[in-house]
C-alpha cells in the first residue's frame, strides 16, 4: 500500500490514460475531477479502472434526490468512491451513502478544504462536518495537508474514518507531515502530472510516505 492517490486533473484523454497506465499499479487510487470528466465524459472512469481504483471527486452538493441520481450514474460508470460536500446537510450526505451501499462503494465527505479560502467559512465548521460524515455512515473524509496541525485535531475527531488529504506539493503541503498528523492517504496532482517524469515524481512521494 503506497498511501498515495493521484489527482488526475489533466484535460487530455491520451495524457490521462498514459499516466494512469504508468502509475496505476504503484498508487492506491486515481482521483478524477471535473476537468478530466468534462472533457472525456464519464466513460473515462471505466478506462482508468483498468489500471487503478477510481475516486470520483464530484464534490456532490445538492438535495438528497439529486445527490442520489448523481451517485447512481457515477457508480454505474464504475467509480469505486465518490466525494461529496457535507455543508448541504446530513440528509444529502446520507443519500450518497445509501446509493454507495447498494453498489458496495464508498463516500468521502469534504470537511475543511486545503486552500486559504477554507478559513472563510469551512474551518469553523470542520468538526461538525466530521461528525456529520460519521453519522451519515461515510467511509471517510477529506482534510487539508496544508494544515497538519488541523489534521491532528480532525484525526482525533474522525475515529476510524479514513482521511484523504489533498494539498501536498503544489499547494505547499508535505506528504510525510500529513501522514504523521493522521492522514491515511495523501492526494497529489500537479506535483506528479506536471513533473518532467511523472513516474519518478510518484516514486519519490511513495518513498517519502514509506519512511
Euclidean distance between the first and final Cα of the chain, in Å?
13
Is 59 among the residues known to form the active site? yes
Q: 6 - beta bridge partners?
A: 30, 188
Q: Are 71 and 48 in contact (CB under 8 A)?
A: no
- Contact criterion met (CB below 8 Å) for 111 and 86: yes
Q: Which stretch binds ligand BMP (CB under 6 A): 46-54, 72-80, 177-185, 189-197?
A: 189-197
CB 121, min distance to ligand BMP, A: 13
Instruction: Report, in Å, the least distance between residue 56 CB and ligand BMP.
Output: 11
Under the binding rule (CB under 6 A), the answer on residue 113 touching ligand BMP is yes
**CB nearer ligand BMP, residue 5 or residue 136:** 5
Taking the C-alpha atoms of 8, 10, 11 and 14 in order, what is their torsion angle to the nearest 10 degrees? Answer: -90
CA–CA distance, 135 with 120 (Å, rounded to integer): 25
Catalytic residue chosen out of the listed positions 22, 46, 50, 59: 59
Shortest separation between residue 189's beta carbon and ligand BMP, angstroms: 3
Please tell me the distance from the alpha carbon of residue 174 to that of residue 75, in angstroms, as a whole number: 32
**Pair type for strands 81-85 and 106-110:** parallel
Angle at 171 (CA atoms; ends 28, 32), nearest 5 degrees: 40
Among 30, 114, 132, 138, binds ligand BMP (CB under 6 A): 114
**Region of 66-74, 108-116, 131-139, 197-205 interacting with ligand BMP (CB under 6 A):** 108-116
Alpha-carbon Rg for the chain, nearest whole angstrom, is 16
Binding test (CB under 6 A) with ligand BMP, winner from 28, 57, 106, 184:
57
Site for ligand BMP in 157-176 (CB under 6 A): 166-167, 169-171
**What's the closest the beta carbon of residue 3 comes to ligand BMP, in angstroms?**
15
CB 192 within 8 A of CB 13: no
Compute how many residues bind ligand BMP; rule: CB under 6 A: 19
Smallest separation, CB 198 to ligand BMP (Å): 12
User: Can residue 148 be called a binding residue for ligand BMP (CB under 6 A)?
Assistant: no
Phi and psi at residue 194, to the nearest 5°? -90, -5
Which parts of this chain interact with ligand BMP (CB under 6 A)?
7, 9, 33, 57, 110, 113-114, 142, 144, 166-167, 169-171, 187-191
* Active site positions, annotated: 59
Amino acid at each position: 500500500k503506497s498511501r498515495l492517490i493521484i489527482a488526475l486533473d489533466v484535460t487530455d484523454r491520451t495524457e490521462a490514460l498514459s499516466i494512469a497506465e504508468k502509475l496505476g499499479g504503484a498508487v492506491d487510487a486515481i482521483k478524477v475531477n471535473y476537468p478530466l470528466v468534462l472533457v472525456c465524459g464519464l466513460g473515462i472512469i471505466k478506462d482508468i479502472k483498468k489500471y487503478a481504483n477510481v475516486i470520483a471527486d464530484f464534490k456532490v452538493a445538492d438535495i438528497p434526490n439529486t445527490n442520489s441520481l448523481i451517485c447512481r450514474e457515477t457508480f454505474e460508470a464504475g467509480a469505486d468512491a465518490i466525494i461529496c460536500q457535507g455543508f448541504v446537510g446530513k440528509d444529502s450526505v446520507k443519500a450518497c451513502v445509501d446509493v454507495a451501499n447498494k453498489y458496495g462503494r464508498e463516500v468521502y465527505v469534504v470537511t475543511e478544504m486545503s486552500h486559504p479560502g477554507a478559513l472563510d467559512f469551512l474551518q469553523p465548521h470542520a468538526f461538525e462536518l466530521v461528525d456529520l460524515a460519521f453519522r451519515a455512515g461515510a467511509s471517510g473524509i477529506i482534510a487539508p495537508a496544508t494544515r497538519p496541525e488541523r489534521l491532528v485535531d480532525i484525526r482525533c475527531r474522525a475515529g476510524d474514518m479514513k482521511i484523504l488529504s489533498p494539498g501536498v506539493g503544489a499547494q505547499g503541503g508535505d506528504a510525510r507531515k500529513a501522514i504523521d498528523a493522521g492522514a491515511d492517504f495523501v492526494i497529489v496532482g500537479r506535483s506528479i502530472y506536471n513533473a518532467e517524469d511523472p513516474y519518478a515524481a510518484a516514486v519519490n512521494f511513495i518513498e517519502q510516505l514509506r519512511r
